[in-house]
Amino acid sequence: MSAAENLAEERHITVYIMGKAYEVPAEATIMGAIEYAGHQIIRGAGCREGYCGACATIYRLPGDYKIRTGLACMTLVEDGMTLAQIPSVPAEKAIYDIEKLKPDVSAMMQVYPTIFRCVACNTCTKACPQGLQVMDYIQAAKRGDIAAVMDLSFDCVECGLCMLRCPAEITQPLVGILGKRLYGRYLRKESPDLVAKVKAVEDGAFEAEYAEMMALSREALSQRYYALDSE
Ligand code: SF4
Ligand code: SF4
Ligand code: FES
């Protein structure tokens, strides 16, 4: 079969982008479909692999009352999907000096007192494309359980979808960052493996490997990167 016949065989579905219908490949991601439809994404795209959180999307499916959320680079299109991209959710980022905070509830009260407006509706958890228990880490922040905030928010990609949906207008990802900073500054246990690895770096154990990589072409370096097992 020729390439042209292959293209003709490809199954297409209809999605609505900014209110206009487009026929796009049925197997495309939302991001791929938007570009296939002829739009250039200049905001709202970064890693394209589910890590950076830049591509927050809301959508509805035909006959379904729910507003759904997803990352455009990781979510596949569905027939009749109506899409809107959310490249940024405004949030007031608190300015603080981590050296002047304590790793307990006082830090949360001082920096993000809005968390005490939480009505425990769980909408943030339902909105999270990472499947995080967002409400639980906000509840942990209210209790001053910094280790739990760090743990439960660890895989947050800062997409902002939870705070977009929160009726109490809480800035969950920023609360998560504060929890991680407090944990890193005050509560983290020393890792013997990390200490050993830092010493190995300082002793030059990786100099030869580093020099070899620096001599690689961009293409060879790219191949090496994509051959790595991702953790
Ligand atoms: S916690 Fe919020 S900002 Fe973080 S990934 Fe989930 S929805 Fe996105
Ligand atoms: S959406 Fe807002 S109010 Fe509802 S549980 Fe999450 S943080 Fe609390
Ligand atoms: S572009 Fe980075 S998560 Fe989608």
Read off the pLDDT of residues 82-113 as tens digits, 9 standing for 90 and up: 999 998 999 988 999 999 999 999 999 999 99
For the chain, strand residue ranges (E) read 12-17, 20-25, 56-60, 68-71, 82-85
- For residue 21, pLDDT over 70 is answered with yes
pLDDT at 230 over 80: no
Q: Phi, psi at residue 57, to the nearest 5°? A: -140, 140
Q: Which range among 30-39, 160-169, 217-226 shows the weakest confidence by mean pLDDT?
A: 217-226
**What is the set of domains in the chain, with CATH numbers?**
3-85 (3.10.20.30), 98-187 (1.10.1060.10), 192-227 (no CATH)
79 vs 42: CA distance, rounded Å: 25
Whether ligand 1 lies within 6 angstroms of the CB of 134 is answered as: yes
Average model confidence (pLDDT) across the chain? 94
Nearest to 161 by CA among 65, 64, 84: 84
Cross-strand pairs, 29: 76
Spatial CA neighbour of 83 closest among 56, 65, 63: 56
Q: Is 125 in the pocket of ligand 1 (CB under 6 A)?
A: no
Token reading at 71: 């990352």
Once rounded to an integer, what is the mean pLDDT over residues 53-63?
Answer: 97
Looking at residue 87, what is its pLDDT? 87
Percent of the chain with pLDDT over 90: 88
d(CA 72, CA 49): 10
Largest CA distance in the chain: 68
164 lines ligand 1 (CB under 6 A): no
H-type helices in 166-206, by residue range? 172-182, 192-202
Classify residue 31 by burial, with Cβ atoms within 10 Å: 0-12, 13-18, 19+: buried
Q: Give the nearest ligand 2 atom to 165 CA.
A: 1
